[in-house]
């Protein structure tokens, strides 16, 4: 007989693609969506038929005006953390390094604010667990 753990059964997940974008000052690019308080890595949910890299490429263009082709993204792996804006959910993220070269991100779509965050200012910000636990500069 198999039994299920009620705590596990109550946890739901959200699958996303997310970017690690670091500037020359070793600061991580984070964004905050409208109506939320937590800063997180740029990215989002896939549309039907999209690969993880295609999702991220589309989201970077829509949200920040940054063009990075899917085959130019460097896969870091899949990471799991508590979802910042949806209590009771885990975020499962396919994470990629995105080299944006000289492109300058701009706020667009549902993004309300963007920040380059270094280790010193991270302590004063509400940062999503995925970014805080795995990708903030030391």
Q: What is the pLDDT of residue 10?
A: 58
Q: Mean pLDDT throughout 25-31?
A: 96
- Per-residue HEC secondary structure of the chain comes to CCCCCHHHHHCEEEEEEEEECECCCCCEEEEEECCCCCEECCEECCCCCCCHHHHHHHHHHHHHCCCCCHHHCEEEEEEEEECCCCCCEEEEEEEEECCCCCCCCCCCCCEEEEEEECHHHHCCCCECHHHHHHCCCC
Q: What is the pLDDT of residue 11?
A: 73
| pTM of the full structure | 0.90
pLDDT: which is higher, 61 or 2: 61
Q: Give pLDDT tens digits for 53-101.
A: 999 999 999 999 999 999 999 999 999 999 998 889 999 999 999 999 9
Distances 56 to 38, 42, 72, 93, 135 between C-alpha atoms, Å: 19, 8, 11, 11, 17
Q: What is the pLDDT of residue 2?
A: 40
* Separation between Cα atoms, residue 127 and residue 138, nearest integer Å: 15
Mean pLDDT computed over every residue of the chain: 92
Q: Mean pLDDT throughout 88-117?
A: 97
């Amino acid at each position: 007989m198999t039994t299920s753990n009620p705590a596990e059964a109550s946890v739901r997940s959200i699958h996303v693609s997310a970017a690690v974008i670091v500037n020359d000052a070793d600061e991580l690019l984070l964004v905050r969506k409208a109506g939320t308080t937590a800063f997180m890595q740029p990215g989002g949910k896939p549309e039907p038929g999209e690969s993880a890299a295609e999702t991220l490429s589309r989201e970077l263009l829509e949200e920040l005006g940054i063009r990075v082709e899917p085959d130019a993204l460097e896969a870091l792996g899949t990471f799991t953390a508590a979802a910042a804006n949806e209590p009771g959910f885990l975020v499962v993220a396919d994470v990629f390094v995105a080299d944006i070269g000289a492109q300058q991100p701009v706020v667009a779509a549902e993004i309300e604010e963007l920040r380059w965050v270094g280790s010193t200012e991270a302590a004063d910000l509400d940062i999503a667990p995925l970014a805080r636990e795995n990708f903030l500069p030391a």
